[in-house]
Amino acid sequence: MKFSEVTGQKELKNRFIRMIRENRLPHALMLAGPPGYGGLPLAVALAQYISCNNRGEEDSCGTCPSCLKYKKLIHPDLHFVFPVNKGKKLDVKEPVSDDAIPLWRELFLEEPYFTLNRWYEQLGFENQQGIITTAESGKILRKLSLKTYESEYKVMIIWYPEKMNQQAANKILKILEEPPEGTVFILVAENPESMLTTVTSRTQIFVLPPVDHESLKNTIAARYALPGKELEEVIRLARGDMYRAMETVRLKEENQERLRQFISLMRLSFKCNEKMPELLSWVDEISALGREKQKEFLVYGLRMIRENLFLGMMADKKQELVFMNKEEENFSHKFSAFIHAGNIEAITREFNEAIRHIEANAYARIVFLDLSLKLSELIYREN
């Protein structure tokens, strides 16, 4: 990863480059801030720059043998430590970071801006937490006692050092204070305040500011085709957090998709008799989604039904009680006439029933076919 691929953070990049040029980069430094500000990508870009065989004034070259290995995160002198635990996709007793490195690389190379929860999802966690154990500290000591393989420098990136327990932290205090020649520790933390001062006091802390408006806007605009007004809205809500900006766009897209599916369901239910083939292919489409997505669709449907009831009850159609976006409103303008006191209870019951069945792993095609047939009857019920 090159500095140029890290969104914003120009000042810190320049500071690091200057320190390297003047040979005064600290041997243990900490980048602190929310993950969406880019601590981890910045750490990797810095490590790549340190190891580059052909360093430029402002960035690593991206093409030397070292950079090529960095690009895939497989440089033998680049080491990662991050919170792990036994999980669905990590079926190892007392795992350490190395056991999860393929999963780590996969996630980072797909999208280097991610949160702790996103990482836990990658590990297949349901209600677990990751930790950095003493076994991990032992591994750090062993790795750093070896000579470097290819580079002048060995870089150890520790992501979420907050997750180190006290014994694990104590075990690396000495090496953090006096690392072997040519070793750089980069700790990437969210809340240094929650860490043992014995650790933080041994590092030089660099606090990440939010990503500046322009850089964030340019990156998001290059990735997603958003109309100007929507783009501005996303950037405003993200408040300098790259991860939050991407999440907002993703949710927006998902919401649009769900609305499309909801409109299809309702239109087909209205004309169930003549539209049976289309209804069946709708059922196929929704049944092909994962269980979580199916459930999300049903929860969304419930919300739309409820909003339409409110909308229908308001004679003047003023929208104060209704929380819908423009597209949802456009559809609901006519549709709301069909949701009323005479059928709201039964429709709500059917959606809830479907949610319960999906959660209980029932056969999705039957659940959705059943729901649409019930709807086609309820939608015509008189008020």
Residues forming contacts to Zn ion in the complex (CB under 5 A) are: 52, 54, 60-61, 64, 67
The least CB distance from residue 62 to Zn ion, in Å, is 6
Comparing CB distances to Zn ion, the nearer of 16 and 282 is 16
For Zn ion, the closer of residues 64 and 196 by Cβ is: 64
d(CA 29, CA 291): 43
Nearer to Zn ion, 67 or 339 (CB): 67
Q: How far is the CB of 50 from Zn ion (least distance, A)?
A: 10
- Could you give the C-alpha distances from 106 to 79, 110, 164, in angstroms and in order? 15, 6, 23
> Please, which residue, 70 or 113, has the CB nearer to Zn ion?
70
DSSP 200: H
Nearer to Zn ion, 60 or 137 (CB): 60
For Zn ion, the closer CB: 71 or 293:
71
Which residue spans within the chain are E strands per DSSP?
28-32, 78-81, 154-159, 183-189, 204-207
Q: Please choose, from the candidates 37, 14, 21, 39, the residue with its C-alpha nearest in 3D space to the C-alpha of residue 29.
A: 39
Return the percent helix, strand and coil in the chain, to nearest 5: 60, 10, 35
Give the whole-angstrom CA distance, residue 228 versus residue 221: 9
Tokens (6 digits) for 307 = 């909003």
Sign (positive or negative) of CA dihedral 359, 280, 335, 346: negative
Whole-number minimum distance, CB 192 to Zn ion, in Å? 31
Q: Hey, which residues does 154 pair with through a beta bridge? A: 183
Query: How far, rounded to the nearest angstrom, does the alpha carbon of residue 250 sit from its chain's CA centroid?
Result: 10
| In 146-190, alpha helices (H) | 166-177
Q: Which CB atom, from 56 or from 180, has the smaller least distance to Zn ion?
A: 56
Shortest separation between residue 186's beta carbon and Zn ion, angstroms: 18
Nearer to Zn ion, 155 or 242 (CB): 155
d(CA 267, CA 291): 23
Give the 3-state secondary structure of residue 322: coil
HSE toward the beta carbon, residue 89, CA cutoff 13 A: 15
**Least spacing, CB of residue 52 vs Zn ion, in Å:** 3
Q: For tokens 């040979």, what's the residue?
A: 23
Residues 6+ apart with CB under 8 A from 256: 327
